[in-house]
Amino acid sequence: MMSHALYRLGRYAARRPWTVIGTWLIVSVLVVAASSAFGHKLEDSMGAPGLDSQQATDLLTRTDQAGLTAQVVVTPADRSTTFLDSAAARAALTTVRAAATELPNVLAAGDPVRDGTISPDGRVAVIRLQYPVQEHLGPPDLQNLKDFAAQMAEVSQLRIELGGDLFFAFEQPATGVGEALGLLVAVVILLVTFGSLIAMGLPIGLALFGLALGISSMSLLTYLIDVPSWAPVIGSMVGLGVGIDYALFVVTRHREYLAQGNNIEESVGRAVASAGQAVVFAGGTVVIAILGLAVAGVPFITAGGIAVSVVVLIMVVASITLLPAFLGLAGHWINRLAVRRPKVRTAGWQRWAGHVSKHAVAYLVGATIALLALAAPVLALRVGTPDEGSLPESRTERRAYDLVAAGFGPGINGPLVIAVDISKDSSVVQPLVEAIESDRGITAVAAPDVNVAAGLATLVAFPTTGPQDDATVATIRRLRADVFPAVLRGSQATAHVGGQTASFADVGAKVNDRLPLFVGAVILLSMLLLTVVFRSIVVPLKAALMNLLSIGASFGVMVMVFQWGWGADLIGLESTVPIVSFIPMFMFAILFGLSMDYEVFLLSRIRERYLVTGDSDDSVVHGIATTGRVITSAALIMVSVFLGFVVSNDPSAKMFGLGLAVAIFIDATVVRMILVPATMKLLGDANWWFPRRLDRLLPVVQSEAVPTEHAVPAAVTELV
């Protein structure tokens, strides 16, 4: 049985703490050293097999056009000067372009005069830098570009701003302040909960230790999969939250057993067997939900999910091995260095659970209506990709975006790169240019770059609308469905729309198509796991419905804030933005798994009581009374960690942080403390109905069982 294995594991770790701690230290040193010496850098790729934009990228690899680009945006510092009427300004522009050409790894620098990238009013010029593919580049290339701009600004009469793919690939958002604030709040909550500096320090230490190991391992995972650069940010969010929460569950149970008079070794073993088993099932649900992202069929989403699930898995293993060793080493000191005398307050939670049970119908109806109201804006959810115009004005990418949009119109910030295979027919280039220029969604097409030897023509078209506008996506679809077929009918030539804007749109469409399948798969697997653990049909179904309500409410809040701008100033959001295409799927996986943490922890206590008393109402009240304080503390910790990422300058990080924080807050308050007791009161013994035939087919798993003869009442043993 799992509980017996965990019991023995916990006792061993407590008995030989230095052996376990030493093993973890050796493994950690090896992983960190290997990561530093042999780890590959994390890379972003928004492509996916079969997409039209991916086909364009594959064609562009025949030439240098498939590499990254950067934009050097220049404007005269004197507002009365233009490039059209000032020879000095034009000379300065030529100097800047010549210096940019000499930068390491720059293959070519566009000529604004020849390319027509001087704005009609003569105030803004854009120099397009062509780099090799991302695999041949690194963060130093971005730093070289920044240093170049700073040096030129000191000696030139021009104002210079930067933007483009190179920033998307290698710019690392400023982190540390938000995470530190979230961690500080977690320390305060744990201190209030435990009343002891040592008891507080164990969950924090475990989470930081596991996080360092998990994040370091990502650069080694790149030998197997292409881990995206944003995976460490999400891994830090989820890893800190679950690591502290799992440790909180185990430490709380350990202190309860110590208070009952058990010795250290016995107390640790029983805590790992009971709370540790809940951690294993909860963490397993999180990992299953995140790995379910593979059904999206988008490699970078799958790779990000695998990387984050590795962090969660490390936290689970650390909670049942490393933490027991820490507890054994701490001994009775865990209750010393107290800042206040710890008190177990269950009377308040018991009264609350009883109050909700007495008014179950009113609370059930009221809470459900409130959550449905919060979830209603989901109907207006619009996926897309926040462009550089959503960044703070302190960023050079934002200033470059504003200059270009003012000089040329918003569409130039999201060019469509059209790859034309002319290996069998080169006569289609000019007709395609004319047809694209005549489309109502296109403002201009740059001079085609025709490479006869490679059999490729590259056309750069500028939409009339910005990168994140729905009208731009409609233009891309129209080019593919109407414009290209009309010109290429009867020809063996093919044309595909690529570029960052088209790639984001294609990935978003594919994610939306796969979302129903993904949601169904995650719900089914999670329900199956809960069915095995709790031997009930009703409990898993109810848990799935309630999780959907809390997740839907968090998505609704995201729409209100990011799309409608409600309270955007409070989180430092300077403009409304669409929801990033892959965030709803990724958040659903994480939230569905995290919600199950509290579900497993709460229901384990309820079922444990029900097996002893057979009284459904008493079991619910007892479960809320004994877990309410821990679940609330755990939720507050996770909310504080997630909110720490809201202070980031990156809108995507803000979305993740706010969405996860809102969902966890709703789940731990409205769902666990209102909907669960209300529904379980109304359903009564039906909560635990389980067909006998199914009971014989499924494996038996004890939930929260204590594997010592004197600790298990006969009624529990018989019922289990």
328-363 residue pLDDT tens: 998 888 876 555 555 555 678 888 888 998 999 999
CA distance 565 to 574: 9
What type of residue sits at position 474? Answer: A
- What CATH class does 69-130+138-170 carry? alpha beta
- Give the length of the chain: 720
Structure confidence by residue, pLDDT tens digits, 45-104: 666 778 888 888 888 887 766 678 888 999 998 888 999 888 999 999 999 999 999 999
CA distances from 654 to 14, 65, 152, 580 (A): 40, 33, 34, 11
CA distance 323 to 317: 9
- Position 704 scores a pLDDT of 46
Across 98-112, 187-201, 627-641, the highest mean pLDDT is recorded for 98-112
- Position 238 scores a pLDDT of 84
Q: Is residue 12 pLDDT above 90, yes or no?
A: yes
CA distance 501 to 47: 12
- Position 159 scores a pLDDT of 92
Q: Which whole number is the average pLDDT over 509-527?
A: 82
Partner residues linked to 75 by β-bridges:
159
Residue written as tokens 């990724």?
586
- Position 363 scores a pLDDT of 94
Average pLDDT, the chain: 84
Q: Which whole number is the average pLDDT over 584-608?
A: 80
Helix (H, G, I), strand (E, B) or coil at 603: helix
CA distance 624 to 680: 12
- Position 709 scores a pLDDT of 39
CA distance 527 to 288: 11
Q: Which whole number is the average pLDDT over 637-647?
A: 83
Question: What DSSP character marks residue 261?
Answer: T
Q: Is residue 154 pLDDT above 60, yes or no?
A: yes
User: Per DSSP, which regions of 369-415 are E strands?
Assistant: 383-384
How many CA atoms within 13 Å lie on the side-chain side of 250? Answer: 37
Across 430-444, 509-523, 527-541, 630-644, the highest mean pLDDT is recorded for 430-444
Structure confidence by residue, pLDDT tens digits, 17-29: 999 999 999 999 9
Percentage above 90 pLDDT, the chain: 26
CA distance 326 to 264: 11
Across 13-27, 611-625, 651-665, the highest mean pLDDT is recorded for 13-27
| Calculated CA dihedral for residues 296, 297, 301, 302, nearest 10 degrees | 100
Q: Is residue 706 pLDDT above 60, yes or no?
A: no
Q: Is residue 391 pLDDT above 70, yes or no?
A: yes
- Position 718 scores a pLDDT of 31
Partner residues linked to 457 by β-bridges:
420, 450
Pairing of strands 579-580, 383-384: parallel
Q: Is residue 144 pLDDT above 50, yes or no?
A: yes
Q: Which whole number is the average pLDDT over 586-614?
A: 81
Name the pLDDT band for 175 (thresholds 50, 70, 90): low
Pairing of strands 108-109, 125-130: antiparallel
Q: Which whole number is the average pLDDT over 263-292?
A: 86
CA distance 585 to 656: 11
- Position 324 scores a pLDDT of 94
On whether the 416-504 domain is CATH 1.10.10, my answer is no
Percentage above 70 pLDDT, the chain: 93
Least confident of 59-63, 370-374, 550-554, 634-638: 59-63
Please say whether the beta carbons of 318 and 206 come within 8 A.
Answer: yes
Helix ranges (DSSP H) in 535-582: 538-558
| Residue 345 CA, distance from chain mean position | 35
Higher pLDDT, 244 or 183: 244
Please say whether the beta carbons of 222 and 35 come within 8 A.
Answer: no
Please list the residue range(s) of the chain that carry CATH number 3.30.70: 69-130+138-170, 416-504
How many CA atoms within 13 Å lie on the side-chain side of 593? Answer: 30
Please say whether the beta carbons of 210 and 315 come within 8 A.
Answer: yes
Angle at Cα 292 formed by Cα 287 and Cα 295, nearest 5°? 160
- Position 717 scores a pLDDT of 30
Helix ranges (DSSP H) in 39-86: 52-60
How many CA atoms within 13 Å lie on the side-chain side of 698? Answer: 19
- Position 720 scores a pLDDT of 30
Q: Which whole number is the average pLDDT over 686-703?
A: 76
- Position 710 scores a pLDDT of 37
Question: What DSSP character marks residue 316?
Answer: H
Partner residues linked to 421 by β-bridges:
456, 494
Across 58-62, 296-300, 412-416, 460-464, the highest mean pLDDT is recorded for 460-464
Phi then psi dihedrals of residue 115, to 5 deg: -80, -10
Name the pLDDT band for 174 (thresholds 50, 70, 90): low
CA distances from 169 to 109, 126, 210, 396, 411 (A): 19, 20, 27, 15, 21
This prediction's pTM: 0.78
What string of DSSP letters covers 523-542? HHHHHHHHHHHH--SHHHHH
What type of residue sits at position 139? Answer: P
CA distance 378 to 358: 33
Structure confidence by residue, pLDDT tens digits, 527-575: 887 888 778 888 888 888 888 888 899 999 999 999 998 988 888 887 7
Please say whether the beta carbons of 501 and 416 come within 8 A.
Answer: yes
Q: Is 655 exposed, middle or buried (0-12, 13-18, 19+ CB in 10 A)?
A: buried
